[in-house]
Structure 1
Amino acid sequence: MIELAAQNATFRILLLLAVFGVVAGLSLLGLSYANRRLTVRDQLGRLTSGPALVPGQSESLRARESKTAWSQLAAAVERAGLNLADTKNERLTALLKQAGFTSPSATRIYTLVRLMLIFVLPLGYIVLAYSSDEPVSFLKVYFIGSVLALVGLYLPNLYVRARADRRKEAIINGFPDCLDLLLVCVESGLGLEAAMDRVGREMVNSHPKVAELLMITVLQLRAGSSRDEAFRKLAEESAVDEIRAFTTLIIQSDKLGTSVATTLRVYAAEMRERRQMRAEEKAHRLPVLISIPLVACMLPTMIGTLMLPAAVLMVRNIFPLMSGG
């Protein structure tokens, strides 16, 4: 390894970068551990001293949780003069919420990550290209650097959309079970709020996304929000058509005075039927999907196997006759 490091400049750079990464990671772990201990000690000191809360200066728990390293970095960049606000801020905020990023600074962090990737990926390739012994043409570096910049620009968007799709799929798959449990709880005598609380606690491990939506709605109801407002916020947070229809049914049944148990029973049966139809649709797509590797991989092999004996006979018998042998 020492001889390889002495002969190859690229290997030396990669080795130095690996050593730097290990040392920096260990240093960050040590600093984070010390910072955590200092933070806990400071909080304990504040609790024991018992300072009076000054109006307008108290900090909420949500604000404390949102103070991450990325948010502080984004705030520092904005203080330096670079505006990280997106022109389509509302649409981007909705997309990030669908992906599970509910922090107030999520849009700024998203823009900051895109800007960093635009410069980091091409610079990394340029360093690796010019550290090698072979000369690299300028056009090749320019072309690959431009492609990497475009990848860095669109990669966060693809990641956020893929995460939003996975979250939506998890909610759709777990919501029929949630309705069945809600129906059981309501028919056993619990109110809708108590039933949602019970079901949310039971589904934490099996369907955590659905449990999170239910618990947020329960907390909003306990905080004093009306049932219409809480269920409308549930539909907005989920961004799933099935939950929107469910909230609309609950609001209408509450206004008209119909039985919630009957509404849940009918909608639960409809959701089970939809889930069965989605499973049947995926099963019917399997023959079409299997035919692609079948034609691309197995069919040429089968044709070669069937035609090989005829080809051997042609080479042994027909070709010598045709050539006069």
Structure 2
Amino acid sequence: MGGGALANWIVLGLVFAAVVLVVLALAPVLTARGNIKSRLARQGGGAAIDGGPGSIRNDLITSRWAQLLHEIEERGLSLSDDASNKIADKLQRAGFDQPWAPRAFTLARAIGTLSLPIFVVTVIAAGGNWPAPVKLYMMIMGSAVAGLYLPGIIVGSRAENRAEEILNGFPDTLDLLLVCLEAGLGIDAAFSRVGSEIVGSHPLLAKLFGQVSLELRAGRSREVALRLLAKKSGVPEITAFTTLIIQSDKLGASVASALRIYASEMREARRLRAEEKAHRIPVLLSIPLVCFLLPTMVAVLMLPAAIGMKNQMAMVDKQRQAR
């Protein structure tokens, strides 16, 4: 009883410390935001500031995540990582292209590593059934490892789903881009036009093409803008597409002719992917058939024979008892 009570007090102390740390981290941000709103309200400009779209720089400054990360780093906790470039590339492929995304990812990993063991110990303490020390140590270490790798798994899954969605809509986008080029539009205007046309059907590609158009308007070279497009998408087919446009532009070849051939190859590749998935269906169906249908069929076929053997053995026992 004494050891259980001590463990409960330890768990409650850890939970209290975690709550205090979270409150101390969030309080300055919320207080500063409340002070700003109150000053704006006194000046009569609060509604206009909150309701307006704002600029990119203003959104970055007033972002809650950016403020929270800034407050945490000001308190002495460094969120920078040695592999920040690789993390940034991985987050970009998953759609997290904010400047503070790598630091938020590091913070999420740290929170997961600390919070999951505390949650496991809290659940065990609430149940009152404490396992052996070795088992408890393994559970705490396993939950810590899971909290460390869970954000990476989520980001990787999101990147795969995003790449698949981009790849499925890329042939249609190529056809529309080819139509724009053959109609007389330049490559820069074609990117802008296609990006505005596919907002409803392929929003991810529309966002990528819109970013390319904005970067070209801002004065960035076409080669750099296209290479950034390939880097943000994380799809090999788009990398090959950007390389094709860059090489055709440098060599003076017809971009429309090259895109016509490449669009045909992309449609063929999409058809082959669909056929591959269709051929995998019988193999995938065999697993539930073997696991669920086969035991049922065996039971149905063997049940009459089992009943007959049981009746025959009962008759033999009766004959033996009669003798």
Give the alignment's TM-score, normalised by structure 2. 0.79
* Residues 1:246 and 2:241 aligned together: yes
1:98-118 C-alpha deviation (Å, 9 max, x unpaired): 111111111111111111111
CA shift at 1:313, angstroms? 1.0
Whether the aligned pair in 2 keeps the contact of 1:96 and 1:102 (CA below 8 Å) is yes
Kindly provide the CA deviation profile for residues 13-71 of structure 1, in whole angstroms up to 9, marking residues without a partner as x.
9xxxxxx9xxx9xxx9x99997896587699859x9xxxxxxxxxx9724633643333
The one-letter amino acid paired with 1:297 is F
Q: Which residue of 1 aligns with 2:97?
A: 102
Q: Where in structure 1 are there 5+ consecutive unaligned residues?
A: 1-12, 14-19, 49-58
Between 1:194-203 and 1:159-168, the stretch displaced more is: 194-203
Equivalent AA in structure 2 for residue 98 of structure 1: R
Tell me the amino acid that sits aligned with residue 249 of structure 2.
D
- Does 2:138 correspond to 1:143? yes
> 1:275: which partner in 2?
270
Alignment of 1:1-325 (within 5 A): 61-62=56-57, 64-65=59-60, 67-134=62-129, 137-317=132-312, 320-321=315-316, 325=320
**Distance change (3 Å), C-alpha of 1:81 and 1:193:** same
**Contact preservation (8 Å) 2:60, 2:66:** no
How many residues were matched structurally? 291
1:297 Cα deviation after fit: 0.6
Q: CA RMSD, aligned part only?
A: 3.3
Q: Secondary structure at the match of 2:158?
A: helix
CA distance in 2: counterparts of 1:197 and 1:266, whole angstroms: 22
Identity %: 46
More deviation, 66-75/194-203: 66-75
For the structure 1 residues 35 and 320, does the alpha-carbon distance in structure 2 shift closer, same or farther, using more than 3 Å as the test? farther
Report Cα offsets for 1:151-187 as digits up to 9, x if no partner: 1111101001111111111111111110011112222
Asked whether the equivalents of residues 122 and 145 of structure 1 are also in contact (C-alpha less than 8 Å), the reply is: yes
* Kept after mapping to 2: 8 A contact 1:130/1:136: no
Structure-1 separation of matches of 2:174 and 2:290: 43
The CA deviation string for residues 72-121 of structure 1, in whole angstroms up to 9 with x for no partner, is 22222222222221121111111011111111111111111111111112
Cα 1:117–1:207 change in 2 (3 A) is same
2:181/2:190 contact within 8 Å kept: yes
Q: How much has 1:189 moved relative to structure 2?
A: 2.4
Measured in 2, the distance between the counterparts of 1:115 and 1:240 equals: 30
After superposition, the C-alpha distances for 1:173-217 in whole angstroms (9 at most, x for unaligned) are: 111110011112222222222222111111112111111110111
Runs of 4+ in 1 over 4 A off after TM superposition: 30-46, 133-140, 322-325
2:8 equivalent in structure 1: none
Rounded to whole Å, the distance in 1 between the matches of 2:227 and 2:240 is 11
Q: Which amino acid aligns with 1:217?
A: V
Determine if contact 2:93/2:159 at 8 Å carries over to the other structure.
Answer: yes
Change (3 A) 1:196 1:111: same
Which AA in structure 2 matches 1:175? F
**Distance of aligned partners of 1:43 and 1:158 in 2 relative to their CA distance in 1, 3 Å threshold:** farther
Normalised TM-score (structure 1): 0.79
Structure 2: give runs of 5+ residues left out of the alignment. Answer: 1-11, 13-18, 49-53
Q: Per the alignment, do residues 225 and 70 of structure 1 end up closer, same or farther by CA in structure 2, a change over 3 Å counting?
A: closer
Kindly indicate whether the alpha-carbon contact (under 8 Å) linking 2:194 and 2:206 is maintained by their aligned counterparts in 1: yes
Distance 2:127 2:115 in 1: 19
**Given residue 205 of structure 1, which amino acid in structure 2 is its aligned partner?**
G
Q: What is the DSSP-based 3-state SS (H/G/I as helix, E as strand, rest coil) of the residue aligned with 1:82?
A: coil
* Counterparts of 2:132 and 2:183, CA distance in 1: 75
Q: Aligned partner of 2:165: which letter?
A: A
Equivalent AA in structure 1 for residue 86 of structure 2: R
Q: Contact 1:66 / 1:105 at 8 angstroms: preserved in 2?
A: no
